[in-house]
Amino acid sequence: MQTSACPLFLLNLPLKMDAQSKRQTSICSPPFYSSSTVYKMRVRLYLDGDGNARRTHMSLFFALMWDVNDTILKFPFNHKVAFRLYDQTPVP
């Protein structure tokens, strides 16, 4: 996981992932913060979908996590969250 000033978080996945595998149904990022000591969050990726999207789509979820700083933060969380997926398949 990498961070930048935006904040931007990059989660790199292994090159060989079997989306149909029953062994691991999702990939969960380590917890990270929107900036220093602010909202704690993580993302969870289901390569073979989840719920109604199972076996037809990929599912990606954003989750806020409890943290000791919650008492000083503004809720409900109403900030914009954007996802970008990059295909890093090597070009032959």
Taking alpha carbons only, the member of 53, 2, 44, 51 closest to residue 24 is 44
Distance from C-alpha of 20 to C-alpha of 75, rounded to nearest angstrom: 38
Q: Are 9 and 29 in contact (CB under 8 A)?
A: yes
Pairing of strands 9-10, 2-3: antiparallel
4-48 tens-digit pLDDT: 445 667 776 664 555 555 666 788 888 888 876 689 999 888 888
Quick check: 54 pLDDT over 80? yes
Q: Dig out the tokens for 13 from the structure.
A: 């996945």
